[in-house]
Chains A and B, each alone.
Chain A
Amino acid sequence: MGAGAGNRAKTLIVSLVVVLANVCGNFLMGWGLKHGPPLTASPLSYLRVMFDPFVAAGVLLLIFWLLSRITLLSRADLSFVLPVTASGYVLSVMTGWLFLGEYVSPSRWTGTVLILLGTLLVGGTPPRSDR
């Protein structure tokens, strides 16, 4: 494997870590908000929600997501990072459907497939356009 291919493989692995951290973080927050105390306009309500174990775990994962995403942005263009990490939306819809019992209409399924195709298309381009 050449240096360029190795570098590209590393960038794609970091992309995968970014996507998984985001999906798991959002899922845990969604679970915590659905099963925890209701959220109101009061700042105290936000603080109480933050101490819910699922929301707290979700926040920790989203901090990890932020750090891994910064790493990815140091290695790839923003116009590469955005569509590639959009695959997380597809996984989020699937986790909402599978684990939270949310209804997903056929048009939403079609939308998620289009997002996935966009991700695959951009994933095939070089991560950095200035090389």
Chain B
Amino acid sequence: MNPWLLVGVIVATTAAGDLLQSREMKRHGEIHDFRISRWGRIAAGLASRRFMILAVFFMAISFFAFLTLLSKTGLSFAVPATAASYVVETALARWLLKERVSFHRWAGACLVAAGVALLAL
């Protein structure tokens, strides 16, 4: 399979997984307690949420596509090439999650996009 096709699959499924996760965590509220013993309870609570299950499904697809890409290319290509999802997701966070994305955040996302373009050369 063409490595760039795999990159496309990874970007799309990562974006879907992240947006759904972020939406659920905004609804869940801030986690203050960092004790490992509490994580099981939090994870169990989140596992019953529909969008979180869907997020994990998309992340699983992304993971196996990433594993395939990693086996076909080097780590220094596979990992940075999939950074394109960061730019797409910033725009989607503004549009779908209604986040207020400041100039600094846009500039940061653009720098990441430029970095990704250079990595692909």
- List residues of chain A with CB under 8 Å of any chain B CB: 14, 26-27, 29-30, 33, 38-39, 46, 49, 62, 66-67, 69-71, 73-75, 77-83, 86, 88-89, 92-93, 95-97, 100, 102-105, 107-108, 110-115, 117-122, 124-125, 129-130
Contact = CB atoms under 8 A, between A and B. Distances in A.
A76 B119 CA distance: 28
Given A71-B34, A114-B111, A129-B102, A46 B89 contact: no
Interface of B: 18-19, 21-22, 25-26, 28-31, 34, 39, 42-43, 46, 59, 63-64, 67-68, 70-71, 74-76, 78-80, 83, 86, 89-90, 93-94, 97, 99-102, 104-105, 107-112, 114-119, 121
A73 B105 contact: no
B67 A26 contact: no
A130 B99 CA distance: 8
Nearest to A100: B75
Given A92-B75, A93-B79, 14 more contacts: A27-B75, A46-B67, A73-B22, A73-B26, A79-B99, A81-B22, A86-B83, A93-B76, A96-B76, A102-B74, A105-B121, A111-B117, A114-B111, A129-B99
A49 B115 CA distance: 32
Contacts of A95: 75
Listed from nearest, the 3 A-B pairs whose CB atoms lie closest are: A118-B111, A111-B118, A114-B115
A78 B97 contact: yes
19 contacts: A46-B64, A70-B42, A74-B26, A75-B30, A77-B99, A79-B101, A80-B105, A82-B90, A86-B83, A86-B86, A89-B83, A92-B80, A93-B75, A104-B76, A107-B121, A112-B80, A115-B80, A122-B104, A122-B108
Contacts of B108: 83, 118-122
